[in-house]
Every structure is written in C-alpha cells, then in structure tokens.
A and B are shown apart, each in its own frame.
Chain A
Amino acid sequence: DGGITQSPKYLFRKEGQNVTLSCEQNLNHDAMYWYRQDPGQGLRLIYYSQIVNDFQKGDIAEGYSVSREKKESFPLTVTSAQKNPTAFYLCASSYGGSSGNTIYFGEGSWLTVV
C-alpha cells in the first residue's frame, strides 16, 4: 500500500545526543515536510523540500537538520542544539511544492529526552 512511513514510533534520547527520525514515502510525491507538534501549539513547520537535494527552513528550524538525497526519503536529525526536543514529530508529503496540493501525513514519531 502507498503511504508515508515514519520510524521509530517512539524514541528516547539522552541530553547532548543527536537523533535521526526516518521518513519514507512511496507515493511518488515531490514535496516532503517535517512538522513538530506540541500540546496546544498546533503544527509548526520545521523544514520542507520541494525536490531532491533542495530544502528550505520552516518557522522553527533551529536545532534541526535534514537531507533529501532521494525522492522517497526525508530524514530529520534533531541535534543537541535543540533545547527542547521532546515532542511529536510528523512527516508529510504532497505532489509538487504548492500548498494547493493536499498534504498527506505519516503516523508520527514521539521523541522524549531523558
């Protein structure tokens, strides 16, 4: 079945460590996105990518990094520079980069700093 797969579902990180969240899609979508969700805050955009080898910062990119070496994959690294990384992370994708296209979401990854 086509869809967006995020892994792991649950991740625990010690302070000072970098962690990478995986996002893979087999929908042949051009654009991919990472959002962060905190209780009562809605979804905030971290990074997005319209095409391979290109990506743009969103509203809260500090402390995060991404790569887009393949169309299907858009991993997110949460670095030690991110001061408050505990959150629910959602990966999404869409045809094209225009927000007129529907964005489809993965099931999310929970990151907890211990």
Chain B
Amino acid sequence: AQSVTQPDIHITVSEGASLELRCNYSYGATPYLFWYVQSPGQGLQLLLKYFSGDTLVQGIKGFEAEFKRSQSSFNLRKPSVHWSDAAEYFCAVGPLGQAGTALIFGKGTTLSVSS
C-alpha cells in the first residue's frame, strides 16, 4: 500500500540551529514528492517539490530537501532555524503521471523553536 511516514511527531530546536525533518515513503513507482507547511488554523503552503532531475531541491524560506531513492526518503532541511519557522510540516507523495489521483500526506511533524 502507498504510504508516507514522518517518524517524528514533535521536534524542538533552538533558534539558529539546523533542522532536519524526516520523511519516508512506500511506493511502487517513482513518485512526485512535496513538503508543505501549515501555521495553526491555516491552510497549507507549498515549501518545495521534487519531480525529477537534481535530487537536492531548493524551496522557499531557505528550506531544501534531498530525494534519496535507495532510502525512499525525502528529508527536509534548513541550516538555521528562525522562530517564525515554528509550524506543522507535512510530507506528501503522488504517483508519477497518473491522472485522477490525489496526494497522500504523512501525519505531520510539529516544529517548536526555542530561544
């Protein structure tokens, strides 16, 4: 079955420290991969996406993610976290070139930033 796993439910990092949020997927084919961020009570905003090509993807707000096919992972990273990065982060996958489908989301990781 297709699935997305975000192993960390909640992470706390100090402001200025580096961040890595983990995402693992189970998929029968090459997927499209996404990271979204959600502030409390708001909709989701796209941070970055991977379709093909360079496996290191740059996104908005200084985030990047690396696709590792051998590990079925798409981890999100940021070198220096700001207090405004505190939010919930969702990894999502979708099938390549398959019409009539929707994304599958992980359960999310809540990021807290301490001063």
Contacts and interface: CB of A to CB of B under 8 A. Distances in A.
Interface size class of A (residues with CB under 8 A): 20 to 34
Nearest to A107: B43
Contacts, number: 69
A102 B34 contact: yes
Question: What class of interface size applies to chain B in its complex with A?
Answer: 20 to 34
Interface string B74-109: 000000000000000010001111111111011110
Interface stretch (A11-19, A70-78, A79-87, A92-100): A92-100
Contact of B99 (A33, A35, A96): A96
A75 to B, nearest CB: 17
Contact of B107 (A40, A103, A106): A40
Contacts of B49: 102
Given A48-B102, A103-B102, A98 B108 contact: no
B9 interface: yes
27 contacts: A35-B105, A40-B9, A40-B107, A42-B90, A43-B44, A45-B102, A48-B102, A50-B99, A56-B100, A58-B102, A90-B44, A98-B99, A99-B101, A99-B102, A99-B103, A100-B32, A100-B96, A100-B98, A102-B34, A102-B46, A102-B49, A103-B102, A103-B103, A105-B44, A107-B43, A108-B41, A110-B41
Interface of A: 4, 33, 35, 40-45, 48, 50, 56, 58, 88, 90, 92, 96-100, 102-108, 110
8 interchain residue pairs of minimum CB distance: A99-B94, A105-B43, A42-B107, A43-B105, A105-B44, A97-B99, A107-B43, A42-B105
